[in-house]
Amino acid sequence: SAVLQAEVLDLDEDEDDLEVFSKDASLMDMNSFSPMMPTSPLSMINQIKFEDESDLKDLFITVDEPESHVTTIETFITYRIITKTSRGEFDSSEFEVRRRYQDFLWLKGKLEEAHPTLIIPPLPEKFIVKGMVERFNDDFIETRRKALHKFLNRIADHPTLTFNEDFKFLTAQAWELSSHKKQGPGLLSRMGQTVRAVASSMRGVKNRPEEFMEMNNFIELFSQKINLIDKISQRIYKEEREYFDEMKEYGPIHILWSASEEDLVDTLKDVASCIDRCCKATEKRMSGLSEALLPVVHEYVLYSEMLMGVMKRRDQIQAELDSKVEALTYKKADTDLLPEEIGKLEDKVECANNALKADWERWKQNMQNDIKLAFTDMAEENIHYYEQCLATWESFLTSQTNLHLEEASEDKP
């Protein structure tokens, strides 16, 4: 079973105190599944590039310059996407297009449809209900832009997804993308797929392989822990913001105070200066928390939801096979056609399982690296912050001590 090597914070819902889980609750070192198995020569080549020659990256994507559009029926934001590449399958080495959020949603849906058991990177939520953040607020738009940038770059770095046909999303003009969207399966086809999926999920999986049982247990535990960490991180940031808002009022107060205390003018102004420097250090630390740690933690909250969806799709494929085997066993259908259908479904299940096992190892390694880096950077930022504040006040105390010693020596006969 899964064991968490990094310490994880635990929050009691009824208490305000934060506690620390013991190290035996780890999610980081689960039993290894089979190694990654590229699904095509192209993906194999790309895998080698990323694992052995990361400096040879051949696809660079930037999402920037959000722009508001107002029509008679809606208001929406588009983002500029610049793609630079040396790949031969592209007609040019550089492309520039604009896309809106629903275009990203379409791409994610197409990738899930083509690769149901690969772990597709998550998109940021369409709306943020908590706190009722304005959808066109500058901070919200910038946060979404960064998340969309990461979404596309994670796809570009994936050894299989990066070569998906629908990744022409990066280069197609608006009318070409619109035309390509209309080429999807018809309504009746989609309804048939939905009905089969619902039927399979209702039947459930009778004999899920042990390795996928372990994987599912890991996902459930990971989801609990990462949601907890996300909640704690958000609360820490909120408390830090309240502390900063209160502290930045003290500097002006000490300046006003100095106007009525002739003997303490310099001392009070020095205190105000120290508070101001500490405020700036606090603001910088808050910026690091909001830009480095919070987005990483929340992205993996969304990943935990994606993983549950991947497991569900894998189970649906297996359930479809199980139902055909059961029908053949009890002769509930045309037995002449069933063996051929079962053979195809067995191949489909094997491909789905291999894809998930391979992508699982890749995702797990990325997750460990991302979370470790985010918390390490935050710890270093905290150390620097406390050292900076300590040095500020030590300098003040030293100057005050020297001043008192000089005054004392001058008072001696």
Dump the DSSP string for 156-224.
HHSTTGGG-GGGGGGT--HHHHHHHHTTS--HHHHHHHHHHHHHHHHH--SS--HHHHHHHHHHHHHHH
Residue 405 has what pLDDT? Answer: 82
d(CA 51, CA 32): 18
**CATH 3.30.1520.10 domain residues, the chain:** 59-182
Residue 188 has what pLDDT? Answer: 39
Instruction: Kindly give the interhelix angle for 250-258 and 265-288, rounded to the nearest 10 degrees.
Output: 170
Predicted TM-score (pTM) of the model is: 0.77
User: Which residues pair with residue 9 across a beta bridge?
Assistant: 20
d(CA 129, CA 144): 15
Residue 381 has what pLDDT? Answer: 94
Residue 184 has what pLDDT? Answer: 60
Residue 408 has what pLDDT? Answer: 74
| Four-CA torsion 160, 124, 167, 120, nearest 10 degrees | 20
Which residues are CB-contacts of 69 (< 8 A; sequence separation ≥ 6)?
A: 75, 76, 77, 78, 100
Record the tokens describing residue 282, joined without a space. Answer: 């606090």
d(CA 389, CA 137): 33
Q: Are 38 and 44 in contact (CB under 8 A)?
A: yes
- The CATH code of the domain at 210-411 is 1.20.1270.60
d(CA 191, CA 203): 18
Residue 404 has what pLDDT? Answer: 80
Nearest 5 degrees, angle CA 58-CA 62-CA 68? 155
Q: Is 203 exposed, middle or buried (0-12, 13-18, 19+ CB in 10 A)?
A: middle
Taking Cα atoms as reference points, which of 149, 119, 124 lies closest to residue 311? 119
**CATH 1.20.1270.60 domain residues, the chain:** 210-411
| CATH domain 59-182 topology | PX Domain (3.30.1520)
Residue 45 has what pLDDT? Answer: 38
Q: Would you give per-residue pLDDT tens digits along the chain (413 residues)?
A: 344 344 344 444 444 444 433 334 444 444 333 333 334 434 443 443 444 444 578 899 999 999 998 888 888 899 999 999 988 888 888 999 999 999 999 999 999 999 999 999 999 987 654 444 556 788 889 999 999 999 999 999 999 999 998 988 888 887 777 777 777 654 434 444 544 544 555 456 677 889 999 999 999 999 999 999 999 999 999 999 999 999 999 999 999 999 998 889 999 999 999 999 999 999 999 999 998 899 999 999 999 999 999 999 999 999 998 888 777 777 655 566 677 788 888 899 999 999 999 999 999 999 999 999 999 999 999 999 999 999 999 999 999 898 888 777 776 65
